[in-house]
């Protein structure tokens, strides 16, 4: 496929992630108001006890509605994390009302982003329909949009890092990826220690890339909303000595083996403490040169989902980085919702030389560990 043929898809994806990020910023501000213990009713627990907010469902509704308006619904396939089951009962009426308000407030400003907007506010039934449309399971054939509406919901709820992630996959190959990172800091040390960024007009960005273009780009989130006219070319770090590398890993211990990662870093002589960062912001940090390595070794029972990686992988690769499983094989996005057949874990590096060194260290450490 010609890269140029994705112009409309790329443009729409970047614009809708800008719009979705603006919704997230507003919802996160409301979560900081201590009106009750659950963020004023903006948080609900899923069956797995992970928090879901108005932002998760709101972003999914907005992205689904915009994609349907631009590309039509006939062959539109969207793979996304949330469903409408828990929103369809009487106890969720207040939550659905909050989602409707957030969605309609955001869509009323869609014209600022060069996107279509509804003639009148969407009814709750229309919003549920948009959310429910995202029920595809992907697979090896066809074109599928892949969305994680709020990747790193725990970081979002805590006022920390999170990302809006949208990718397009065709016949199992990622064609483009967009990451909205509303809290991405000016200073990289703030990625892991949560510097107070309030009042900083330069906080937040949207990163994006097309497969095969050899370019990844970053645009600022405009404080007052709207679509920026400029973009900055991203370039991953050239640091290829593990001793000098900055390593990212997930915050949560539940789906990442911090002990093995620490032993691996120690065996390579890594001097810096790992940056523990929520969400696909770890990929963003590598793409823009703020970190060199992202390692994740999940428990054997944990299955990686395609929406947690697709957008970040293509952005890192087009910025000059390399992403594989721990055995050095490319990630396979053709098996449906899950990344099947992963060899132990995922390794993302800013360049090929460093990647080869990390993979070698993984093999050596694995043989001597009891993991």
Give mean pLDDT, residues 96-103: 95
| DSSP 3-state of 250 | coil
- Give which of 132, 164, 166, 52 is closest to 98, Cα–Cα: 52
Angstrom distance (rounded) from CA 31 to CA 45: 15
Residue 35 confidence class, pLDDT cut points 50, 70, 90: very low
- On whether 292 is known to bind a ligand per the annotation, the reply is no
- On whether 151 is known to bind a ligand per the annotation, the reply is yes
pLDDT at 319 over 50: yes
Could you tell me which residue, 40 or 182, shows the higher pLDDT?
182
**What's the token pair of residue 166?**
């949208």
Note whether 162 and 279 are within 8 A (CB).
yes
* Burial environment of residue 89 by CB neighbours within 10 A (0 to 12, 13 to 18, 19 or more): exposed
Give mean pLDDT, residues 50-71: 92
What one-character DSSP code corresponds to residue 305?
B
Give mean pLDDT, residues 54-77: 97
- On whether 82 is known to bind a ligand per the annotation, the reply is no
Angstrom distance (rounded) from CA 141 to CA 173: 10
pLDDT at 2 over 50: no
Q: For tokens 């949208």, what's the residue?
A: 166
- Of 28-32, 47-51, 202-206, the least confident: 47-51
**What's the token pair of residue 285?**
């940090």
Note whether 327 and 320 are within 8 A (CB).
no
pLDDT of the residue at 196: 55
> Which residues, including other chains, have CB under 8 Å from residue 12's CB and lie 6 or more apart?
66, 67, 70, 71, 115
pLDDT, averaged across the chain? 89
The radius of gyration of the chain from alpha carbons, rounded to an integer in Å, stands at 20
Residue 112 confidence class, pLDDT cut points 50, 70, 90: very high
Could you tell me which residue, 56 or 92, shows the higher pLDDT?
56
Note whether 341 and 332 are within 8 A (CB).
yes
Note whether 286 and 218 are within 8 A (CB).
no
- All structural domains of the chain: 3-233 (3.30.540.10), 242-368 (3.40.190.80)
pLDDT at 41 over 70: no
**What's the token pair of residue 89?**
């009962």
Give mean pLDDT, residues 314-343: 96
pLDDT at 218 over 60: yes
pLDDT digits (tens, 9 = 90+) for 263-277: 888 888 898 888 889
DSSP string across 165-224: EEEEEETTEEEEEEEEETT--SSTTHHHH----TT-TT--EEEEEETTSS-EEEEEPPTT
Note whether 18 and 227 are within 8 A (CB).
yes
Q: Which DSSP helix (H) or strand (E) runs through 324?
A: strand 322-325
Give mean pLDDT, residues 99-128: 97
Please provide the size of the chain in residues: 371
**What's the token pair of residue 40?**
């004023």
Q: Catalytic residue positions? A: 56, 153
Percent of all residues in the chain with a pLDDT value above 90, rounded to a whole number: 68
Angstrom distance (rounded) from CA 74 to CA 147: 19
Q: For tokens 């006939």, what's the residue?
A: 74
Q: What angle do CA 14, 338, 180 make, to 5 degrees?
A: 20
> 147 pairs with which residues across the strands?
80, 166
| End-to-end CA gap in the chain | 42
pLDDT digits (tens, 9 = 90+) for 225-244: 999 999 999 999 999 999 99
pLDDT at 200 over 60: no
pLDDT of the residue at 90: 78
Note whether 113 and 16 are within 8 A (CB).
yes
pLDDT at 262 over 70: yes
């Amino acid at each position: 496929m010609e890269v140029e043929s994705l112009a409309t898809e790329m443009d729409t994806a970047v614009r809708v992630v800008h719009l979705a990020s603006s919704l997230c910023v507003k919802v996160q501000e409301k979560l900081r108001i201590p009106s009750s213990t659950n963020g004023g009713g903006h948080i609900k627990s899923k069956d797995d006890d992970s928090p879901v907010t108005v932002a998760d469902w709101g972003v999914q509704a907005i992205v689904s509605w915009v994609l349907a308006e631009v590309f039509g619904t006939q062959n539109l396939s969207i793979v996304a994390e949330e469903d409408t089951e828990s929103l369809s009962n009487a106890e969720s009426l207040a939550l659905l009302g909050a989602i409707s308000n957030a969605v309609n407030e955001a869509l009323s400003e869609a014209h600022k982003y060069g996107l279509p907007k509804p003639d009148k506010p969407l009814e709750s039934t229309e919003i549920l329909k948009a959310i429910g449309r995202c029920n595809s399971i992907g697979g090896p054939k066809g074109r599928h949009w892949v969305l994680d509406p709020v990747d790193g919901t725990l970081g979002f709820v805590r006022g920390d890092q999170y990302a809006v992630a949208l990718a397009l996959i065709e016949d199992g190959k990622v064609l483009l990826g967009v990451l909205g990172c509303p809290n991405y800091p000016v200073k990289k040390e703030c990625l892991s220690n949560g510097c107070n960024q309030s009042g900083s007009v330069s906080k937040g960005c949207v990163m994006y890339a097309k497969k095969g273009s050899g370019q990844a780009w970053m645009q600022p989130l405009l404080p007052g909303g709207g679509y920026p006219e400029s973009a900055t070319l991203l370039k991953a770090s050239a640091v290829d000595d593990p001793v000098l590398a900055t390593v990212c890993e997930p915050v949560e211990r539940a789906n990442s083996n911090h002990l093995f990662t620490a032993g691996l870093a120690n065996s390579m002589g890594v001097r810096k403490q790992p940056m523990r960062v929520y969400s696909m912001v770890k990929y963003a940090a590598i793409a823009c040169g703020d970190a060199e390595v992202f390692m994740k070794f999940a428990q054997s029972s944990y299955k990686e989902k395609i929406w947690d990686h697709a957008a970040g992988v293509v952005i890192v690769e087009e910025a000059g980085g390399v992403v594989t499983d721990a055995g050095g094989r490319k990630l396979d996005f053709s098996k449906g919702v899950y990344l099947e057949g992963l060899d132990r874990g995922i390794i993302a590096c800013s360049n090929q030389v460093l990647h080869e060194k990390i993979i070698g260290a993984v093999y050596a450490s694995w043989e001597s560990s009891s993991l």
